[in-house]
């Protein structure tokens, strides 16, 4: 009797899971599965039109909602890296989109379609863990102008001379070149 009861529970559980998967997960998979080659897709080409183009930033993709809120029903999802066409009138950090689905996406999940420009050749990044001092002259005994934190970007004005380099941004003065790295 207990054996039969357990088998019946297992069948009900299996049927429930099957219905849940087909109702909730399959629509998202099909929305992501369409247009497997986005580069040749006309829809993606339309989405990439000038000012209205954005790219889905998170690799796991984003959900598209019917309303500009997390409480709006989910229409589908868009895979990471895919292009979307945005419409005017953002509402509370939610962006209306029209391609590939019509609905709303949280603005924080979208990025520019244009590739980031390369850093200028005179850009350097502070590599010293504790930051670097900026001096008035290329001498360790020179008065200190300020301190630049680790990871900050600086603009150099010339090549290194005796281990020192002149910078102009964010402060004007000299820093020890060994504590700078190329901008990435």
% of the chain with per-residue pLDDT over 70: 72
User: For 40-90, what is each residue's pLDDT tens digit?
Assistant: 455 555 555 557 899 998 888 999 999 999 999 999 999 998 999 999 888
Is position 23 within any domain? no
Tell me how crowded residue 87 is: count the other CB atoms within 10 A of its CB: 14
pLDDT higher than threshold 60 for residue 146: yes
Is position 82 within any domain? yes
% of the chain with per-residue pLDDT over 90: 50
Say how far apart CA 66 and CA 180 lie, in whole Å: 49
Helix (H) or strand (E) holding 180: strand 180-182
When divided into structural domains, the chain yields a total of 2
Same structural domain for residues 89 and 150?
A: no
Residue ranges making up the domain that contains 168: 123-182
Average pLDDT of every residue of the chain? 79
Backbone angles phi, psi at 142, to 5 degrees: -70, 155
Is position 118 within any domain? no
Q: How confident is the model at residue 164 (pLDDT cuts 50, 70, 90)?
A: very high
pLDDT of residue 42: 54
Same structural domain for residues 99 and 158?
A: no
């Amino acid at each position: 009797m207990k054996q039969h009861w357990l088998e019946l529970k297992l069948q009900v559980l299996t049927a429930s899971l099957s219905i849940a998967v087909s109702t909730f997960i399959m629509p998202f998979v099909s929305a992501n599965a369409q247009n497997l080659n986005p580069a040749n897709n006309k829809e993606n080409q339309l989405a990439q039109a000038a000012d209205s183009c954005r790219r889905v930033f998170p690799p796991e993709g984003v959900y598209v909602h019917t309303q500009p809120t997390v409480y709006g029903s989910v229409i589908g999802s868009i895979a990471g890296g895919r292009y979307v066409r945005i419409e005017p009138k953002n509402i509370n950090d939610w962006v209306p989109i029209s391609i590939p689905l019509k609905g709303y996406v949280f603005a924080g999940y979208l990025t520019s379609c244009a590739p980031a420009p390369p850093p200028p050749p005179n850009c350097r990044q502070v590599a010293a863990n504790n930051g670097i001092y900026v001096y008035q002259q290329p001498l360790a005994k020179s008065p200190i102008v300020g301190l630049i934190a680790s990871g900050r970007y600086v603009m150099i004005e010339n090549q290194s001379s005796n281990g020192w380099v002149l910078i102009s941004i964010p402060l004007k003065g000299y820093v020890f070149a060994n504590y700078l790295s190329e901008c990435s």
